[in-house]
Amino acid sequence: MTNQNGGPQAILKIDQAVRRFGGLIAVNQVSFEALNGQVTGLIGPNGAGKSTMFDLITGVRPLTSGEIYFRGQRVTDAPPHTRSPMGMARTFQIVRLFHGMTVLENVLLGLHPKFPDGIIRSLLASRALAAQERAARERAMELLEFVGLANRAADLIAHLTLGQLRLVDIARALASDPALLMMDEPAAGLNDAETRNLLEMIMTLKNRGLAMLVVEHDIDFIMTACDRIVVMDRGAKIADGTPESVRNDENVIAAYIGRKAAHATH
């Protein structure tokens, strides 16, 4: 898990990634690494290209150019469904869960890559496969306990608060037993207590050795949670370093203040 210098190895390596949407360059020649055992932050003003970067990493959008390596393998052209079994999982800025299903059923869907095709579908129809069903349900319940929602397992997703939905989304993502968990604005819409709880959860996962890549606008949260922070602005990477160095970086300060000033004039 270490390189020649004794430091942690990259679990994810982005090399000169570019993504265009017509004439707009959403991601412009961005290179960075997320290291094993670390929490890497990806921050930047609205429209910086953070979520697009997640889409490139997970493969739901192809790169215009550049390369992506995950766990030492080139995944630049790998179809999205092949990346989850490799150990990649993400949560969404706008939570995507099945509203007509229960909390437990949504987490069970996250177990899908761990089980052969069709088993989860059979599970949901609650037919046969009793042993696997029990194992899957036990694992899903463990995950709900971890995020503090075991008591809501049988509730419909539609009845949950935004904070609870974000936690179910994390449980769903963890169900695939990822090596890298990517979270897109996990603290958005959370109150202070929920945010502190999330921070603790991230620290627990980090202590278990899980590498994470976190997009977040809450700067205090990012500064506390992250070992390293990559900063994007208008598609480009403008800084990459420790929380301390990024906080004091002139380009970062200018990007945030510039954007605030622009908003203030609207």
In the complex, the residues that contact Mg ion under the rule CB under 5 A are 50-51, 93
Q: What is the DSSP string of the chain?
A: -B-TTSSBPEEEEEEEEEEEETTEEEEEEEEEEEETT-EEEEE-STTSSHHHHHHHHHTSS--SEEEEEETTEE-TT--HHHHTTTTEEEE-SS----TTSBHHHHHHHHTGGGS-TTHHHHHHTT-S-HHHHHHHHHHHHHHHHHTT-GGGTTSBGGGS-HHHHHHHHHHHHHTT--SEEEEESTTTT--HHHHHHHHHHHHHHHHTT-EEEEE-S-HHHHHHH-SEEEEEETTEEEEEE-HHHHHT-HHHHHHHHHHHHHHHT-
Stretch of residues binding ligand ATP (CB under 6 A), selected from 44-52, 109-117, 137-145, 244-252 = 44-52
Q: Applying CB under 6 A, does 60 fall inside the site for ligand ATP? A: no
Q: From the CB of 235, what's the least distance to ligand ATP, in Å?
A: 7
Which pair of structure tokens corresponds to residue 38?
């670390």
Reduced to 3 states (helix: H, G, I; strand: E, B; else coil), residue 174 is helix
Q: Which of 10, 28, 36, 44 binds ligand ATP (CB under 6 A)?
A: 44
Residue 37 near residue 244 (C-beta atoms within 8 A): no
Q: Which is nearer to Mg ion, 37 or 189 (CB)?
A: 189
Q: Applying CB under 6 A, does 110 fall inside the site for ligand ATP? A: no
Stretch of residues binding ligand ATP (CB under 6 A), selected from 46-54, 66-74, 168-176, 196-204 = 46-54
Q: From the CB of 51, what's the least distance to Mg ion, in Å?
A: 3
In whole angstroms, give the CA distance from residue 219 to residue 55: 22
Q: From the CB of 262, what's the least distance to Mg ion, in Å?
A: 18
Contact partner at residue 26 from Mg ion, ligand ATP, none, CB < 5 to 8 Å by partner kind: ligand ATP
Contact letters for ligand ATP, residues 2-31 (x by CB under 6 A): -------------------x--x-x-----
Pairing between strand 236-241 and 228-233? antiparallel
Q: Which is nearer to ligand ATP, 196 or 234 (CB)?
A: 234
Q: From the CB of 200, what's the least distance to ligand ATP, in Å?
A: 24
Q: Which of 5, 6, 23, 46 binds ligand ATP (CB under 6 A)?
A: 46
Q: Applying CB under 6 A, does 206 fall inside the site for ligand ATP? A: no
Contact partner at residue 47 from ligand ATP, Mg ion, none, CB < 5 to 8 Å by partner kind: ligand ATP
Q: Which of 93, 122, 132, 197 binds ligand ATP (CB under 6 A)?
A: 93
Q: Which residue ranges make up the site for ligand ATP (CB under 6 A)?
A: 21, 24, 26, 44, 46-52, 93
